[in-house]
Structure 1
Amino acid sequence: MRSAVVVPETPVKSLFAYPLLLSLLVGGPALAQTATRDPAQIQAGTYAVDPGHTQVGWRVSHFGFSHYSGGFSGVSGTLDLDPKNPAAAKLSIRIPVGSVSTTSAKLTGELKGEQWLDEAKYPEMTFVSTKVEPVGADKAKVTGDLTLHGVTKPVTLDVTLVGAGVNPLNKKVTVGFEATGVLKRSAYGVKTYVPLIGDDLQLTIDGAFERRD
């Protein structure tokens, strides 16, 4: 005797709970990848930070046993960019110190206090570029003035183009970069628990920028 294969019925209401799936099943439009890593394809102009898709991460040594990470959000700023003259690019970034976050609510609160970042007295961290040195087709060293905790010092970031093109959802011309760098927090007056908590603060900025019309 041959056994029958039983296919469970799918309730009609569950199908309507997945409109995207239905669209795909009936041949609805697909979202295509539109980003390019070709710098020559980037549209020139002034771009503004897309705060919802820009992340600033940091990492320090924790007693030499592990690395501890956190982040900032709510970033704002502008980028003037011309692919024909990348050395003339200008970048200005503002990061609200009060947006600092970690996996510990207690530590997050402490970092905002006067022993650490002192949000009440120094509410913002800023970076303003002063020099852009292209390194190959899609990389650059961007030097600028970084202000933190009331102290301004030069910092150089290693920047890599992630992609550029038209966002398929909001139709805005978008360009994204990853920037990395290291700064000595004690040089900015944030000396709490040095050297138990590492002095070297590793920064990673994953930035998305939308061109202004």
Structure 2
Amino acid sequence: MKTITLALGAIALAAAGTHLNAQPAGAPASSEEVAAVTAGSYATDPAHTLVRWSVSHFGFNPYWGSFGDVTGTLDIDPDDIESAKLDVTIPIDSLAVVSEDLRAHMLRPGSEGAAPDFFGPDAGNARFVSTSVSRTGPMTATIHGKLSMMGETRPVAIAAQFTGAGANPMTKAETIGFTGRARILRSEYGIAFALPVISDEVDLEISVAFERQ
């Protein structure tokens, strides 16, 4: 349930070089969309930026949840993708799952003064700050950085992909989009409840939109 990695997916945009334009879901960005990304500072569109996490539930099936309301900035120059800088904050209390009972469990305090099973009610925010970006293809990059959560900071690498860019048809804001994938160990952030029957490995899928400032 490491929300942090969410932010990283956004930088995939950098990997796209100058190819930007709005795309149908699942469609790859094309060279015809060279609606050049403007160098400068971008901010997340919190309403359309998500981090989905997945853990193994007793080895039977994956269980999913997500975080939203992600805020942060991306500084990028399409002519120098590897100089991109990302700083993203994810509020842990934005946790969403299909079961309200499970949500309450994940955010409740520990019983009789003990540590919470998962996040607890005062978990605060998770924050990811990039340290380097390595271009891996025309539309892809690896974003390395530090994820801070629950009082711990660990290195995280995200495989990011540029998914599209252009003017938002509703707001007209210049927007760029990315997806990303990463894996973290929840025990490294002090969340060890029900190990190993609930997996230590947490798979993260990130979908992020940035608007030019």
Q: Tell me the TM-score range normalised by the shorter chain.
A: 0.7 to 0.9
Deviation at 1:136, TM superposition (A): 1.1
Aligned residues: 178
Q: Which residue of structure 2 aligns with residue 28 of structure 1?
A: none
In 1, Cα distance between equivalents of 2:55 and 2:121: 19
Q: Which residue of structure 1 aligns with residue 155 of structure 2?
A: 154
Deviation at 1:119, TM superposition (A): 3.6
Deviations 1:61-119 (A, max 9, x none): 00000000000111100001111000000011100001111111010011113221124
Q: Which residue of structure 2 aligns with residue 16 of structure 1?
A: none
Greater relative contact order (Cα < 8 A, sep 6+): 2
Q: Does 1:189 align with 2:184?
A: no
Opposite residue 104 of structure 2, the aligned amino acid is: G
In 1, Cα distance between equivalents of 2:80 and 2:188: 34
Q: Which residue of structure 2 aligns with residue 56 of structure 1?
A: 51
Q: Which residue of structure 2 aligns with residue 71 of structure 1?
A: 66
In 1, Cα distance between equivalents of 2:194 and 2:148: 21
TM-score by length of 2: 0.80
Return 5+ residue gaps in structure 1 as ranges. Answer: 1-33
TM-score by length of 1: 0.80
* TM alignment of 1:55-204, pairs within 5 A: 55-113=50-108, 114-120=116-122, 122-204=123-205
Q: Does 1:35 align with 2:25?
A: no
The alignment partner of 1:101 has SS state of: coil
Over aligned residues, Cα RMSD in angstroms? Answer: 1.3
Q: Report the structure number with the largest CA radius of gyration.
A: 1
Aligned-pair identity in percent equals 39
Return 5+ residue gaps in structure 2 as ranges. Answer: 1-20, 24-28, 109-115
In 2, Cα distance between equivalents of 1:174 and 1:104: 33
